[in-house]
C-alpha cells in the first residue's frame, strides 16, 4: 500500500493540524515525521479547540493509530502534559499511540542551550520557540543524542548524567547569559520520563513496513513548513529538521517510491513567526487586518505572527521541492472585505527580476513584484459548497491553480472541521 504525505508550504502554521484531522477518517495510520514541541497544530470540532505539539493530529478519531516517528524530537514534559490535556476524551493510548524507539529526547539542558544560544545572538536571534529543538538535533547528528528507547536501558541514569553534564560545561561558555534552576527542571523531567515508560514504544519503521504489506493506508504528517527546512528554507532563519517531503523518508523509514499523493497546504496569504526574511511582509493596515481577522498568534508561543501577501515565487519553489500533487488553500475567509488582493509573482533584486528563491535571501534587498486581483465582500465561513463562492474568490483560486500548475482540491473557510470544502 502507498503512503500519502501532508506538509506546509510556507513558514508553518498553514493549518496542517486541521486538515490532518479532516483527512484521518480515510486513513489507518497517521505518522508524524519530524519536528517536536516547536510545532503547534490546532484542531477544532464540536465547539472544542485543541493544540497538539508532539502527538499526531489523528488522535481524536476512533480507529486511526497515531505514530510518533524516529525523525521527531520529544520533550517528555510537554508530551505528558499533552496526554493529560486529552484526559476528558478517554482515548485508549495503548491501542492508538505508538512512539518510535529511535526518536530523540529533548533534555532540560537542551532547552537551556537553546535559550543561551538565542540570548547570545542578540538582534540576530533566530526567534526559536526555545523548546530545545536545535541543540537536540545537533546532538543527534553529532552522534551524542539520547533516544527514547534508551530510557529502558540499564545505564539510562549514567547516559542522562553524562550528556547533561556535557551541556553544563557548554553552558559555561555563555557566561551566565541566562538564569535557571536545573534541579527544578530535572525533577519534572525525571517524573515525566517515568510516565513516558508506560507508553508503547516500537521499531516504527518495521511497524510501518508491516502495515504497508497489510494494505493499511498511511498519512505522514509534517510539522513547520518548507521555508523553514534546514536545507531549503531561509537559512539560517530555519528550524533544524527536514520539513520537506524527504523528511518523511528519513523520519519514518518510508521509501520514496512508496509515496503517492503529496498534499501541500498553504494559507491564502502568508505569515511568519520569529525572525528572518519575508519579502511580502506588510507593515500597514492590511497586515494588521490579516493578523486580527486571522487570529494570527503562535499556537506554541503565543507570539503574534507577521503577515503579508501570498508569495508565488516561494510557493512554486516549495511545490517543486516537495513534488506536491494537490494543494489545499486555508483561511480564504480571512481575506473577505479586502478591496484588492495582491500576489507576488517575482522578486526585483539588484541583479534584476528573479523568479526563484535566491540562496542569500537573508541578506538580499528584495522588492516583491505584485499582480493585483479584485477582492470579495462576502463572508465565506458559512459556505458549504464551491457553487456558493463569490465570483472573485473563485477567480482567485483559479488564478492560483494556473500559476502554480497544481490543482487546489480543498478550500478551508474557517477553523472548524466542518468548514472544509472539496473541489
Ligand atoms: P498548523 O501548525 O499548520 O497546524 O497551524 P496552526 O494550528 O498553528 O495555525 C492555524 C490556525 O488557523 C489555527 O488557529 C486554526 O484553527 C486556524 N485555521 C485553520 N484553517 C482555517 C481557515 O480556513 N480559516 C480560519 N479563519 N482559520 C483557520
Ligand atoms: P508548526 O508545525 C511556525 C519557527 C520559529 C523560529 C524557527 C526556529 O506549528 O507549523 P525552532 O524552535 O524550531 O528552533 O525555531 O522556526 N518555527 C515555527 N513557525 N510554525 C511552526 O510549527 C514552527 N516551528 C518552528 O518561530 O522562527
Ligand atoms: Mg502551528
pLDDT tens per residue, range 277-295: 999 999 999 999 999 999 9
Told to judge if 206 belongs to the known catalytic residues of this protein, a careful annotator would answer no
39's grid cell = 510545532
Judged on CB neighbours under 10 Å (0-12, 13-18, 19+), 258 is: middle
Judged on CB neighbours under 10 Å (0-12, 13-18, 19+), 370 is: middle
24's grid cell = 484521518
Arithmetic mean of pLDDT over the chain = 97
**At 360, is the pLDDT very low, low, confident or very high (cuts 50, 70, 90)?**
confident
**pTM > 0.95: yes or no:** yes
Which among 307, 374, 309 has a CA at the least distance from the CA of 340? 374
Contact 318, 264 (CB under 8 A): yes
Q: Is the pLDDT of residue 350 over 90?
A: no
Which among 72, 167, 162 has a CA at the least distance from the CA of 115? 167
Q: Is the CB of 412 under 6 A from ligand 1?
A: yes
Contact 58, 24 (CB under 8 A): yes
Average pLDDT estimate for 378-388: 98
State residue 309's pLDDT score.
Answer: 98
Average pLDDT estimate for 206-227: 98
Q: Is the pLDDT of residue 1 over 80?
A: no
Average pLDDT estimate for 349-366: 86
Q: Which of the residues 4, 13, 333, 416 is marked catalytic?
A: 13
Which among 261, 257, 398 has a CA at the least distance from the CA of 325? 261
Contact 111, 130 (CB under 8 A): yes
Give the position of cell 537536540.
136
State residue 301's pLDDT score.
Answer: 87
CA 260–ligand 3 middle distance (angstroms): 25
Which among 300, 234, 310 has a CA at the least distance from the CA of 268? 310
Q: Looking at 96-100, 126-130, 206-210, 300-304, which range is the least confident one?
A: 300-304
Please list every protein residue whose CB sits less than 6 Å from any atom of ligand 2: 8, 11-13, 35, 38-41, 126-129, 131, 133-134, 223-225, 228, 239, 273-274, 299
Ramachandran quadrant class, 291 (left: phi over 0; alpha: psi -120 to 50; beta: rest): alpha
DSSP for residue 250: H
Average pLDDT estimate for 9-35: 98
Pick the residue whose CA is nearest to atom 3 on ligand 2: 12
**At 377, is the pLDDT very low, low, confident or very high (cuts 50, 70, 90)?**
very high
Q: Interhelix angle for 391-404 vs 312-322, to 10°? A: 50
Contact 379, 288 (CB under 8 A): no
Contact 64, 58 (CB under 8 A): yes
State residue 355's pLDDT score.
Answer: 87
State residue 299's pLDDT score.
Answer: 86
Give the position of cell 500533487.
325
Residues 6+ apart with CB under 8 A from 113: 132, 135, 167, 170, 171
% of residues, the chain, pLDDT over 90: 94
Pick the residue whose CA is nearest to atom 5 on ligand 2: 128
Told to judge if 311 belongs to the known catalytic residues of this protein, a careful annotator would answer no
Contacts of the segment 50-53: beta carbons below 8 A, 24+ positions apart: 50/85, 50/86, 51/17, 51/299, 51/300, 52/17, 52/82, 53/78, 53/79, 53/82, 53/300
pLDDT tens per residue, range 90-148: 999 999 999 999 999 999 999 999 999 999 999 999 999 999 999 999 999 999 999 99
Kindly give the pairing relationship between strand 270-272 and strand 306-308: antiparallel
pLDDT tens per residue, range 251-281: 999 999 999 999 999 999 999 999 999 999 9
State residue 363's pLDDT score.
Answer: 78
Distances (CA, A) of 418 to 244, 273, 328, 350: 28, 27, 15, 47
Average pLDDT estimate for 26-50: 97
Pick the residue whose CA is nearest to atom 20 on ligand 1: 415
Q: Which of the residues 4, 21, 41, 53 is marked catalytic?
A: 41
Amino acid at each position: 500500500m502507498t503512503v500519502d504525505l501532508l506538509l506546509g508550504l510556507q513558514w508553518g502554521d498553514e493549518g496542517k493540524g486541521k486538515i490532518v484531522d479532516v483527512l484521518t477518517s480515510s486513513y489507518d495510520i497517521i505518522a508524524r515525521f519530524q519536528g517536536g514541541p516547536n510545532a503547534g497544530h490546532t484542531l477544532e470540532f464540536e465547539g472544542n479547540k485543541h493544540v497538539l505539539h508532539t502527538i499526531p493530529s489523528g488522535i481524536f478519531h476512533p480507529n486511526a493509530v497515531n505514530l510518533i516517528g524516529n525523525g521527531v524530537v520529544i520533550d517528555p514534559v510537554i508530551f505528558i502534559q499533552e496526554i493529560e490535556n486529552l484526559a476528558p476524551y478517554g482515548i485508549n493510548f495503548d491501542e492508538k499511540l505508538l512512539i518510535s524507539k529511535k526518536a530523540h529526547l529533548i533534555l532540560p539542558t537542551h532547552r537551556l542551550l537553546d535559550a543561551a544560544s538565542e540570548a547570545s545572538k542578540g538582534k540576530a536571534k533566530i526567534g526559536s520557540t526555545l523548546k530545545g529543538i536545535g541543540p537536540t538535533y545537533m546532538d543527534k547528528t553529532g552522534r551524542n543524542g539520547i533516544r527514547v528507547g534508551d530510557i529502558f536501558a540499564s545505564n539510562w541514569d549514567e547516559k542522562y548524567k553524562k550528556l547533561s553534564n556535557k551541556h553544563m560545561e557548554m553552558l559555561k561558555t555563555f557566561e551566565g547569559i541566562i538564569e535557571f534552576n536545573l534541579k527544578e527542571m530535572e525533577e519534572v523531567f525525571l517524573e515525566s520520563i517515568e510516565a513516558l515508560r508506560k507508553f508503547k514504544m516500537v521499531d516504527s519503521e518495521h511497524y510501518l513496513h508491516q502495515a504497508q504489506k497489510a494494505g493499511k493506508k498511511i498519512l505522514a504528517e509534517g510539522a513547520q513548513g518548507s521555508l523553514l527546512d534546514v536545507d531549503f528554507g531561509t537559512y539560517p532563519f530555519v528550524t533544524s529538521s527536514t520539513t520537506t517531503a524527504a523528511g518523511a523518508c528519513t523520519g519514518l523509514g518510508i521509501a520514496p517510491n512508496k509515496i503517492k499523493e503529496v498534499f501541500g497546504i498553504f494559507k491564502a496569504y502568508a505569515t511568519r513567526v520569529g525572525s528572518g526574511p519575508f519579502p511580502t511582509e506588510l507593515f500597514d493596515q492590511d497586515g494588521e487586518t490579516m493578523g486580527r481577522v486571522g487570529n494570527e498568534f503562535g499556537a506554541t508561543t503565543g507570539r503574534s505572527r507577521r503577515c503579508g501577501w501570498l508569495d508565488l515565487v516561494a510557493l512554486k519553489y516549495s511545490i517543486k521541492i516537495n513534488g506536491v500533487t494537490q494543494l489545499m488553500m486555508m483561511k480564504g475567509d480571512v481575506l473577505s472585505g479586502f478591496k484588492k488582493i495582491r500576489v507576488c509573482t517575482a522578486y526585483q533584486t539588484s541583479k534584476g527580476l528573479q523568479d526563484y528563491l535566491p540562496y542569500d535571501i537573508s541578506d538580499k534587498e528584495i522588492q516583491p513584484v505584485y499582480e493585483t486581483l479584485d477582492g470579495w465582500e462576502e463572508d465565506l465561513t458559512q459556505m458549504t459548497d464551491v457553487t456558493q463562492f463569490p465570483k472573485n474568490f473563485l477567480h482567485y483560486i483559479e488564478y492560483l491553480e494556473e500559476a502554480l500548475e497544481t490543482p487546489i482540491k480543498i478550500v478551508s473557510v474557517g477553523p472548524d472541521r466542518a468548514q472544509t470544502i472539496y473541489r
